[in-house]
Structure 1
Amino acid sequence: MSKSEKEASAVNTVAVNGGGKSDETGLSDLRHADDVLLAELGYKAEFKREFSLLETVAFAFSIMGVVASVSSTFSFPLVSGGHVGMVFGWLIPSLFVFTIAASMAELTSSMPTSAGLYYFSAKLAPPKWSALASWITGWANVTGQVTLVCSIDFTCAQMITTAIAVGSDGAVTLGAGPTYGILWAILISHGIVCSAATNILARLNLAYVLINVGTTIAAITALLVCSGNKGTRVSTKDAFTMFENNTGWANSGWAFMLAFTAPMWTLTGYDSAAHISEEVAGAAKAAPIAILVGVGATASLGWLLFISASFATYSVSDLLTTTLPLPMGQLFLNNLGKEGMLAIWSLIIIVQYVTGAAQGVDASRVVFAFARDNALPGSRWWKQINRYTLTPVNGVWLVMVMAGICGLLGFSATALSSLAGASVIGLYTSYATPIFLRITSGRNKLVPGPFSLGRWYLPIGIVAVAWVVFIIVVLLFPAASAVTANDMNYAVVLVMAVFIFAGISWIVSARHWFTGPISNVDKGDSLATYNEKQARMQNDEHAY
């Protein structure tokens, strides 16, 4: 069946009851149309579609946690450019990321399934290479998802230790061991939250976005107002043009580009809208809107926050020599005082915590989808849906355990840059692969959904892929020119370990049995039979 026939089928399904129905009935029909389209893509509906358009947008935005992410990665632009690193080190990558988001939105609108990126790659690659493209994309995405959970929760632990240090006036400074223990406590609590039913997760995201936006605006205002009151605000010229290279790299242009780590780490996870699309009503429209709005809002608010931080940074060297785990904590302390800093920092900790919770949901859906196609060791466990919550609880806990193992990097001096680099490289490799296939072998294969780039898909896709290739090279380098075993960038170790495992697995075994996405809908069923099965499943759900 062609895509136009799918859409006609979905519309006819909704229209069969006529007009004048209640909103609830209309929503039920919309969800049913989504499930019919999902069946055409090869999968049976196993989730409840509880995410509305607003909640889907909130999810995609919350997963990037702008104020907490900026606070976590503030050290990168400080070292790599100072004021210029803060302002333009954020703006430039944000513009390029939007091309990636636009390309991904088009793909998601055409194929709204939790399998997401590796499904796109399988359908757009030449038949001979379809399974391999899907395998590479899937493993890259899983790697990025798990390390992103770890990096978010690790920085949340660092934020807590920063608050403890400030609250005790430096008397209590927790090292790597206690920080790792806090990381595990956060991961376990996130495992509990992420195991909840879809309707609970959907409602929680509305609260997440309010906390996120409110705290970001409060931080921007506080930095600008308090720095002005204390007379420590720098001039507009200095805030936008003062450049300081503290990396040790002789080439200032190269040093500046290392500041791109901050926005690239923050602007990740927006593929979450694709991965929860089987839980979204009207997914073909809602998911691409969520991707574009989430990236646009995060990039805009993040830039404003970095501009305010640039104005409030009287001395870059003072922030770089702080004894606090995160320099952003020192910036707030300098401008707001102890009480003010602890107040805003407490809110930022909450934002980082809920960001980690949202990312945990996203990662678990990726693990579930990849296991559903039997691509993970122990897939039969990880693809199970809990009969009570109708969510992949086993997949949730696999993500948390793997993130805890990755957290062992917290005992190195460059834990954040290593985890951030690994998550960005893994995720953006998985983003770029289907986009590359879209502009090459898949030019005539994609049947557009409600959101389409039209003829602009080609130039936008070329820019997107070129940017990913460039930024991956940048992220493999250490922040400083002189490197020891303690301050090495271990991103390459994490990423290569996974790719070597995936590569050997493919050569030795997977190429003989992995064929890409596997349909779990009985091909012998008519559409009417499928609809009857769906109705029975929904009735069974109501019985629990």
Structure 2
Amino acid sequence: MVIPKRPKDEVVDQPYTSGFDSSNGHKSSDKDQRRAPSYADESGTDTNSADHMLESLGYKPELARNRSTLQVAFMSFVLASIPYGLATTLYYPLNGGGPVNAIWGWLAISCIIVCVAASLGEITSVYPTAGGVYYQSFMLAPSSYRRVASWICGWLYTVGTITITLAVNFGTALFLVGCIGIFENSDGEPAYEPTAWQIYLIFLALTIVCNLVSALGNRWLPILDTIAIFWTFAGLIAISVTILAVAKNGRRDASWVFTHFESHSGWTDGWSFMVGLLHAGYATSSTGMITSMCEEVRKPSTQVPKAMVATIFINTFAGLLFLIPLMFVLPEIEPLLNAAQPVPLIIKSAVGDTGPAFALCIPLIVLAIICGIGCTTAASRCTWAFARDGAIPGSKWWKQVHPTLDLPLNAMMLSMVVQILLGLIWFGSEAAFNAFSGVGVISLTASYATPIAISLFTGRKDVKNAPFNLGAFGVFANVMALAWSALAMPLFCMPSNLPVTASSINYAPAVFVGATAISAFWYLAWGKKHYQGPPQHSAVF
């Protein structure tokens, strides 16, 4: 099936047939009426072309398209915020295998995530909507199970974006506390030891700030993302140069940095290395979240896929620039494992003074807050898109776009409230952060795998003429992406240490099962009868 290219001056006919109602996003029948979009000539008016394409996919354009290719790439970079993401989870590779786990594990996972990003980018170039992977799953799946596939994928994606945003903000609170914790009193004890409720209040403040900035500063967010990438590399250079130049306690030799393996997890060496990959998996889990911004991008069919793939290479470089210098000045590993946050202690050990060490942590703290803003924005778009198709209870409220702010404010507030309520788990167990990050990665990984698997097992026929086409590399990329998904999902359910205690148990499976049970109940109670999936109509060729 060849999709013709429309001349740039041609007006798109309204393609809504088969009972599609643009006011509620539902269709009148569940017959197989899939269509492929008519690709616009992007040499014409960018916004008009993208909006025509969105209309051909069944949706009315409601959000302003204010992001260029570079700005999309910068936001994708901000969603990962690699130095921050690796800093808050460095415990896992240090515990799992030491320098080998940190450096080579990061490099290995980055190579695999390129396949995930390329696979998702190829599909997104065909179906560039804010619904992202859930919309794609519906369009790619055969009619017999497309509604169920999109429902499952949609809930996984929504739960994943919300909980990973929660994990980012909670991780920022813990990292901030860890940075303050390097200050000591005259007795050599930490000058500040926060209580559980103080940490929760810091998380609460960060969550509210991220939502306020995302809601009130929407038009300036592309500028913030642009600033963030320069801020990141300036901070990385400052950290790397300073700790390597000062190195109060000396430097490790290159052989130790790149070959030393030291496990403290209690697992066998092979599995310990695997568990140590959790930091890389967490840091790259946001790969597909940028698809939820497709309706705010000028040329989504080409810009978003290119940004997704290019960002992986930028992230890989940034990660190595951060990790390798840290490994060269790494003190004894075992004492670091008893600290809430190892990175501030590593930097303090290298520079030999608390004040400069805290100053070097400031770029990571600022980047963490910007990352929280980006994740908040993406999570709100995902929630809004899923509600737009009637899959979330109270959809009529959550699908509304604020007329002045030009964004889905109600969906953003829903996401924020869910995060604040889930954050209360912290009072029951300090392993809550692991649960938040774990269930976020599990849900997002499963949601990314769904459209990739459907596309692969249906012969990749829908992406044959994709604007971002992988060609012969497509099958290999799809298989690698699914292989990583099959490994990552059980990996993030594992405790990081043996023997397992109440404080070290991984609660991610429990949170994941709870979210799955809620979605299953809602499907049986309402969705099975009423949920029709995204709008669909006959193809226009």
Mapped contact 2:331–2:346 kept (Cα < 8 A): no
Structure 2: distance between partners of 1:473 and 1:10: 48
Q: Which residue does 1:47 correspond to in 2?
A: 63
TM-score normalised by the chain length of structure 2: 0.89
Q: Structure 2: where are the runs of 5+ without partners? A: 13-41
Residues 93-127 of structure 1: per-residue CA shift (max 9 Å, x gap): 11111111110110111111111100110011111
Matches within 5 A, 1:524-543: none
Q: Is the counterpart of residue 276 in structure 1 residue 293 in structure 2? A: yes
Q: Is the counterpart of residue 343 in structure 1 residue 330 in structure 2? A: no
My pick for the range that moved more, 370-379 or 392-401, is: 392-401
- Shift of residue 144, structure 1, vs aligned partner: 0.9
Residues 186-228 of structure 1: per-residue CA shift (max 9 Å, x gap): 111111111136422222211222222222232232332232x
Structure 2: distance between partners of 1:409 and 1:153: 14
Mapped contact 1:124–1:446 kept (Cα < 8 A): no
- Shift of residue 143, structure 1, vs aligned partner: 1.1
Query: In the alignment, which of 369, 381, 390 is matched to residue 374 of structure 1?
Result: 390
Q: Is the counterpart of residue 428 in structure 1 residue 426 in structure 2? A: no
The alpha-carbon distance between structure 1 residues 442 and 386, as it changes in their structure 2 partners (threshold 3 A), is farther
Query: In the alignment, which of 246, 253, 260 is matched to residue 242 of structure 1?
Result: 260
Q: Is the counterpart of residue 205 in structure 1 residue 225 in structure 2? A: yes
Structure 1: distance between partners of 2:235 and 2:259: 27
Matches within 5 A, 1:77-96: 77-96=93-112
Query: In the alignment, which of 103, 106, 109 is matched to residue 125 of structure 2?
Result: 109
Mapped contact 2:236–2:321 kept (Cα < 8 A): no
- Shift of residue 3, structure 1, vs aligned partner: 7.0
Structure 1: distance between partners of 2:403 and 2:491: 45
Residues 276-333 of structure 1: per-residue CA shift (max 9 Å, x gap): 11111111111011101112211221123212211111311131233xx211111111
Give the 3-state SS of the residue equivalent to 1:59 in structure 2.
helix
Residues 416-464 of structure 1: per-residue CA shift (max 9 Å, x gap): 3222211110101000010000101252233533211113211211111
Query: Counterpart amino acid of 2:147?
Result: A
Q: Which residue does 1:540 correspond to in 2?
A: none
- Shift of residue 12, structure 1, vs aligned partner: 4.1
- Shift of residue 57, structure 1, vs aligned partner: 0.8
Mapped contact 1:198–1:279 kept (Cα < 8 A): no
Structure 1: distance between partners of 2:165 and 2:43: 33
Q: Which residue does 1:508 correspond to in 2?
A: 525
Query: Counterpart amino acid of 1:206?
Result: T
Query: Counterpart amino acid of 2:258?
Result: F
Query: In the alignment, which of 29, 41, 50 is matched to residue 34 of structure 1?
Result: 50
My pick for the range that moved more, 154-163 or 426-435, is: 154-163
Mapped contact 2:156–2:443 kept (Cα < 8 A): yes
Q: Which residue does 1:452 correspond to in 2?
A: 469
Structure 1: distance between partners of 2:532 and 2:208: 35
Query: Counterpart amino acid of 2:85?
Result: S
Give the 3-state SS of the residue equivalent to 2:473 in structure 1.
helix
Query: Counterpart amino acid of 2:228?
Result: Y
Mapped contact 2:180–2:358 kept (Cα < 8 A): no
Query: Counterpart amino acid of 2:426?
Result: G
Q: Which residue does 1:414 correspond to in 2?
A: 431
My pick for the range that moved more, 87-96 or 119-128, is: 87-96
Structure 2: distance between partners of 1:358 and 1:506: 30
Mapped contact 2:243–2:350 kept (Cα < 8 A): yes
Q: Which residue does 1:490 correspond to in 2?
A: 507
Give the 3-state SS of the residue equivalent to 1:332 in structure 2.
helix
Mapped contact 1:245–1:255 kept (Cα < 8 A): yes
Q: Which residue does 1:355 correspond to in 2?
A: 371
TM-score normalised by the chain length of structure 1: 0.89
Query: Counterpart amino acid of 1:257?
Result: M
- Shift of residue 486, structure 1, vs aligned partner: 2.7
Structure 2: distance between partners of 1:493 and 1:507: 21
The alpha-carbon distance between structure 1 residues 201 and 508, as it changes in their structure 2 partners (threshold 3 A), is same
Mapped contact 2:331–2:349 kept (Cα < 8 A): no
The alpha-carbon distance between structure 1 residues 57 and 384, as it changes in their structure 2 partners (threshold 3 A), is same
Mapped contact 2:463–2:469 kept (Cα < 8 A): no
- Shift of residue 273, structure 1, vs aligned partner: 2.6
Query: Counterpart amino acid of 2:191?
Result: A
Matches within 5 A, 1:60-209: 60-167=76-183, 169=185, 170-196=190-216, 198-209=218-229
Query: Counterpart amino acid of 1:68?
Result: Y
Query: Counterpart amino acid of 2:332?
Result: S
Give the 3-state SS of the residue equivalent to 2:434 in structure 1.
helix
Structure 2: distance between partners of 1:38 and 1:504: 32
Structure 2: distance between partners of 1:221 and 1:176: 36
Query: Counterpart amino acid of 1:117?
Result: V
Q: Which residue does 2:343 correspond to in 1?
A: 328
| Misfit runs of 4+, over 6 Å | none
Structure 1: distance between partners of 2:460 and 2:438: 31
Q: Structure 1: where are the runs of 5+ without partners? A: 15-25, 528-544
Greater share of helix: 1
The alpha-carbon distance between structure 1 residues 94 and 181, as it changes in their structure 2 partners (threshold 3 A), is same
Give the 3-state SS of the residue equivalent to 2:80 in structure 1.
coil
Structure 2: distance between partners of 1:408 and 1:90: 32
Mapped contact 1:233–1:314 kept (Cα < 8 A): no
Structure 2: distance between partners of 1:181 and 1:127: 47
Mapped contact 2:122–2:468 kept (Cα < 8 A): yes
- Shift of residue 241, structure 1, vs aligned partner: 1.3
- Shift of residue 9, structure 1, vs aligned partner: 4.7
